[in-house]
Structure 1
Amino acid sequence: MASPRGKKAKNGKPKISPISRLIGNIESGSARTASIDYMLVFVTSIALAVFGVLMVQSSASVEAIARGNDGFEVAISQAMFAALGIACMIVMQFFKPESLKRLAWPAAIIAFGLLFLVAFTPLGHEVLGNRNWIRITATVGLQPSEFAKLALAVFAAFMLEKKQGMLHDYKHLFIPVVAPVGGAILLLVLWGKDVGTALILILIIATALFLGGLKVKWLALTGAAGFIVLSVLVFASSNRRARVLAWLNIDCGPDDRICYQSSMGLHAFASGGWFGVGAGQSRLKWSYVPEAQNDFIFSILGEEFGFVGVLFVLSMFALLALAVYRISMRANDLYTKVLMGCISSWIIGQTFINLGTVSGLLPVIGVPLPFISSGGSAMLAVMLAMGFVLCSARAQKVAALATLVEDAKKPKK
């Protein structure tokens, strides 16, 4: 009687067609892990972006109504940028990584040009002490420093791969990644007094140098020098010096004015308990927590959703970081390794700095929470970064499936 699986071979075992062999192996090895990581990046990015829009609606509606505006105004704007970012992310995945590499120099030049306009022309606009905006209309602005993070990550990855055979000579690590390109972008951001963004840019550069082969001792020395420079810049500003002194509980200013934002943010964060007070039910967003929809949105999240909600959001970030890390580890080229590392350090580093600010472990620096905080430029920049990640993840998945197809066609011995 014939085997239900098909004809038998000479050795008595049923023959397995190449297609059956492919189906049997499709969920194994690199193909499965590549598919899982691709889906993790895709799902967590969209989930965090959608959750961010909901949190912006909750935290910004009260202030908007108090100003006489529509309570949905800020959330609608955030949703539009999130939708645009998701669309860009989906489209970018279908490009070949080699095509996106060509954006390295144009992205760096455009980022430098926009930051120059912010710093030295009337187009630059100052918000809350930081000159980091280009005013487009009375209500719409562009924050070039957010896109500069992605531009620097792509440029560093491209240049380090291009000079891969020369990286044993450290000058090729630093030129042009640190000087002149990275240093010029960093100085323009610091010129606008945006220390928070400067910290993230330094983290991106440090990650690129480390993955490019810079020894830890030299990286530590470079980091120490950068820390000294940043400390000087912080204490040269009376506003930032006051924030550091308030964080150290040395001086909160008259009527505890300087400590007010951090103390109210921590109070909101802690008042959520295990399960929170309920979505949209925050009491401290009623003009108690300044910038509730921006840098301190995590405090409102903690109040409304409690420890469980905080743990869920952090788990989403952890899954995203794990997927990007595995994509980097599977990569056979230095460009992908460096780019994935820089994007991961940017998003996760910024998340930890924001959480440190809200929890009081760090002084108030002014760093938004990726995907969650209000801000169209920040949302769009992060989603574009996820587009680069998905592009690499999809390329790995396609390559793994192609390998399985080739293996399935080969006759088994």
Structure 2
Amino acid sequence: MVSTPTRHPRRRPAARQHSGSRGSSRVNASGNPAADAIAARPERKGVLGAFGRMWRFLEGSDRQTSGSSYYMILGATLALTAIGLMMVLSASSVESIANAASTVEPTDEGAIVFDFFFKQSMYAVLGVVLMLVLSRLGPRVFKFLAWPGLGVAIVLLVLVLLIGENINGNQNWIRIGNQSLQPSEPAKLALALWCATVLERKRGLIRDWKHALIPVAPLGGVILLLVMLGGDLGTAIILGMIMAAALFFAGAPMKLFTLVGLLGIAGAFGAILLNSTRSTRIQAWLRLNCESATDPCFQTNQGLFALASGGWWGVGIGQSRQKWNWIPEAHNDFIFAIIGEEFGLIGTLVVIALFGILAVATLRVARRYTDPFVRILMGSILVWLIGQAFVNIGMVTGVLPVIGVPLPFISYGGSALTFTLAAVGVLLAFARRMPPAVPGTAGPAVSSNQTSASDK
């Protein structure tokens, strides 16, 4: 008896079974399993997904060129400057009219209202021109300017103590005709350039605390001392932040920051105890002397009233009530309170978001470079701009004591605006030459000092 083999039904190909079955997995089409795994990863929906996509856009991809970072830095800077001009016009108009009313000679009412605005606009144009000029330079020129810039800064700070003008207890200005110069503002940029140049040469010795501090601490300390002798503790704190940022991005040991931080805190307390005005402000911040006749909490309280009255959407541009001689220095140190009153919480968040975009774009450029000079300089300028903005906003909202630090790009002040824009010009110079990253990696394809274009 012969048995015949049993015939089995022909099986379909595996790929066809997957394509025909419901809920089957997606077939790899690119041939790259890692890329297909990332592409097949489900996207988060809702608020978390939106924030994730926004962060990935801001952080930038490995294949991204320098164009987007360049325009993010430039756009955020110009937007903040435009907001500043608009708010200086709004916040200073009342004070301009009040100052004109005290004069005997009749003046044009229109010119009176726009006085601060015209001056700030002139310095904004000068700053933008200087920003564009510096954006065309390279690391070699910045290194060449480091030592002369530091020397000029020290000379100007000495001249302030000799022939400077004292305003509100701070001797910080040199009067030149109808204009005034605040030398501590160019000193910030000069200190950042000089620290980056010196620390870049010590790249192999920076882990030794002696090489990290010398000569940064002695010569940088001279600038801090000259500013402190003029009575400006707030600017001295910002200069100290610039020096600390330069040491941090250079790779100095962390135990050094602990020691220097403790010494800095002790020095700040000593400066506060030796000055009655500073100690009064600290007591006002702690709400210990608000019931006194002089009411040192008045400025902070009025700033909080302005922020509270603005609500979500604000009372409208030009409609602030607190700027009518309620908030001292409404167009200067406390201009953020006027923004909150006229544009509400949304307006303040827009300003903070622009500073955030500036910070993210700067970090995005700095991480592409392997040249320590570029990283140290960009990190120092970043800490200067963002740190000063944080101090000012914290001061207005009551988180920090009032120490007289302006809001970058926005507060009234010609010297501050001009050299802040100049610092952005340095950031733009490196953003224009940002080396491309190797696909699939976070690092640069080439070092900045290996490209001839970036070293011109």
2:153 to 108, 111, 115: 111
TM-score (norm 1): 0.87
Match of 2:196 in 1: 157
- Cα contact 1:242–1:252 (8 A) shared by 2: no
* 1:131 equivalent among 158, 171, 178: 171
Q: Percent identity?
A: 46
Comparing 372-381 and 69-78, the one that deviates more: 69-78
1:354-398 deviation digits (Å, cap 9, x = unpaired): 111111111110000000000000001100000100001111169
Unaligned runs of at least 5 residues, structure 2: 1-59, 101-110, 439-444, 447-456
The 5 A counterparts of 1:254-403 are 254-396=292-434
| TM-fit CA distance, 1:248 | 0.7
**1:194 equivalent in structure 2:** 232
Paired residue secondary structure (1:131) = strand
The separation in 2 between residues aligned to 1:164 and 1:217, in whole angstroms, is 18
Which of 90, 113, 120 is equivalent to 2:132? 90
What residue ranges of structure 1 are gaps of 5+ in the alignment?
1-27, 405-413
2:90 to 38, 43, 58: 58
Tell me if the contact between 1:130 and 1:193 (Cα under 8 Å) persists in the aligned partners: yes
Asked whether the 8 Å contact 1:34–1:396 carries over to 2, the reply is yes
Question: How far does residue 318 in structure 1 lie from its aligned partner after superposition?
Answer: 0.2
In the TM superposition, what is the alpha-carbon distance from 1:166 to its structure 2 partner? 2.2
Structural RMSD (CA) = 1.8
Q: Are 1:224 and 2:248 counterparts?
A: no
The aligned residue for residue 40 of structure 1 is 72
Counterpart of 1:169, as a letter, is D
CA contact (8 A) 1:50 1:82 kept: no
CA distance, structure 1, for counterparts of residue 139 and residue 259 of structure 2: 33
Residues 110-130 of structure 1: per-residue CA shift (max 9 Å, x gap): 1111001112x1x21111111
Letter paired with 1:163: K
Greater shift after overlay, 249-258 or 108-117?
A: 249-258
Which has the larger displacement, 167-176 or 338-347?
167-176
Q: For 1:67 and 1:197, how far apart are their aligned partners in 2?
A: 27
- Secondary structure, counterpart of 1:104 in structure 2: helix
Larger radius of gyration: 2
Aligned length: 372
Once the two structures are TM-superposed, the CA of residue 285 in structure 1 deviates from its matched residue by 0.4
When normalised by structure 2's length, the TM-score is 0.79
1:8 matched residue in structure 2: none
**CA offsets, 1:84-137, max 9 Å, x none?**
111111122112222122110011001111001112x1x211111111111112
Task: State the Cα distance separating 1:178 from its structure 2 match.
Answer: 1.3
Match of 2:212 in 1: 173
> Could you tell me how far apart the structure 1 residues matched to 2:134 and 2:186 are?
16
Query: The residue matched to 1:330 in structure 2 has which SS?
Result: coil
**4+ runs deviating over 3 angstroms:** 28-31, 397-400
Q: Does 1:234 align with 2:266?
A: no
For residues 193-225 of structure 1, the C-alpha deviation after alignment (integer angstroms, 9 at most, x for no partner) is 100001101111111111222222220221111
Q: Distance in 1 between matches of 2:390 and 2:208?
A: 33
Partner of 2:112: helix, strand, or coil? coil
| Farther-moved stretch of structure 1 (65-74 vs 378-387) | 65-74
